[in-house]
Amino acid sequence: MANDDDRVYAWEMGLPTVDDLTPLTQPLIPPELASAFSITPENQRTMLEVNRASQNTLSGLRGGQLQTPSFNNHIKSFAEGRDDDNNNNNLSVEIDEEPDPSDSRKIRRTDDDLNSQADNCYDESSARSAAAVKRPRLVWTPQLHKRFVDVVAHLGIKNAVPKTIMQLMNVEGLTRENVASHLQKYRLYLKRMQGLSSEGPSPSDHLFASTPVPQSLQEPAGSGHMPVPMNYPPQMMQMPVYGHPGAGGSYHGFESHPYNNYGSSYHGVTHNNK
């Protein structure tokens, strides 16, 4: 006598996670292979292109009277529900795109896009090279910063250079300049804290104070470990929640374990209907 919710949940759990799926930005056939077998190489799809296609798909679904509202709700709840259930740490760069009065919604590189784009292809407007587009101001969310700190910690302090950090963070749209700039500030923060021992972080250190500083950074950590490629799961998961600078170092975020936490977690599908 299982009710519908249970059946839906069972169905959702049987679906592949975003981690199992090949990112849309990644060609199914490597260029080398394609050329070797004289196959016409696929067009490279960047995240920007994929996202644009997603927007078009969503706006198409919403705009046209063809769809019933409940249909859209199901798509959305599905995406959010899986995110919560699997505890996916799908980090992505969260960016605002001001020049678009027609749709003031925030554009996010999430698996909302992956879901929505599944039933549509990208059009010509998305075929433009996204490289030439200047990226909007990056927002260093606690999650993004956490990942940054993790990478810096796992690299030695000696290997923690912008380029390497950027690569290991593996975040779409994140540039070396972004990392370099953030690293600069982060180092200043570390320096200030080591100088004034036994003193709570400055109230102005909103972001940094909310993220624990790994011991790997406290000292030169002479352990000669080479850059070990740490595989972060593909991006996703954002929440408006901000760490409380309350001098305690209390913060909530993901704890280096992308998966697990299955049986005990409640799969409350949160509808953020605005």
Partner DNA sequence: GGGCAAATAT
Partner DNA sequence: CATATTTGCC
Q: What angle do CA 239, 95, 190 make, to 5 degrees?
A: 70
Closer by beta carbon to DNA, 176 or else 244: 176
Burial class (CB in 10 A: 0-12, 13-18, 19+), 61: middle
Contact call for residue 184 and DNA (CB under 7 A): yes
Element housing 107 (H / E): strand 107-108
Under the binding rule (CB under 7 A), the answer on residue 206 touching DNA is: yes
Adjacent-strand bridge partners of 132: none
Residue 85 or residue 94: which is nearer to DNA going by CB? Answer: 94
Which of 29, 61, 97, 135 binds DNA (CB under 7 A)? It is: 135
Q: Which of residues 215-244 bind DNA (CB under 7 A)?
A: none
C-alpha torsion angle, residues 149, 150, 151, 157 (rounded to 10): 70
Q: Each residue of 65-78: b (16+ CB within 10 Å) or e?
A: eeeeeeeeeebbbb
Stretch binding DNA (CB under 7 A), from 20-28, 53-61, 138-146, 213-221 = 138-146
Instruction: Please tell me whether residue 138 binds DNA under the rule CB under 7 A.
Output: yes
| Between 135 and 267, CB nearer to DNA | 135
Is residue 207 a contact point for DNA (CB under 7 A)? yes
- Smallest gap from Cβ 94 to DNA, in A, equals 11
104 binds DNA (CB under 7 A): no
* Binding flags for DNA, 151-180, as an x/- string (CB under 7 A): ---------xxxxx-----------xxx-x
Residue with Cβ nearer DNA (4 or 98) = 98
98 part of the interface to DNA, by CB under 7 A: yes
Under 8 Å between Cβ of 86 and 259:
yes
Stretch binding DNA (CB under 7 A), from 30-38, 112-120, 200-208, 256-264: 200-208
DSSP 98: -
Residue with tokens 């209390």: 250
Nearer to DNA, 98 or 119 (CB): 98
Please state, as a whole number, how many other Cβ atoms lie within 10 Å of the Cβ of residue 101. Answer: 6
Q: Which of 204, 215, 223, 272 binds DNA (CB under 7 A)?
A: 204
Six token digits for residue 181: 């700039």
Among 171, 164, 182, residue whose Cα is nearest residue 235: 171
DSSP, collapsed to helix, strand or coil, labels residue 75 as: helix
Q: How far is the CB of 57 from DNA (least distance, A)?
A: 27
The distance of Cα 63 from the centroid of its chain, to the nearest Å, equals: 27
Instruction: Report the run of H or E that residue 51 belongs to, with start and end.
Output: helix 47-63
Exactly one of 139, 239, 241, 247 binds DNA (CB under 7 A); which one? 139
Binding site for DNA (CB under 7 A): 98, 134-135, 137-140, 160-164, 176-178, 180-185, 187-188, 204-207
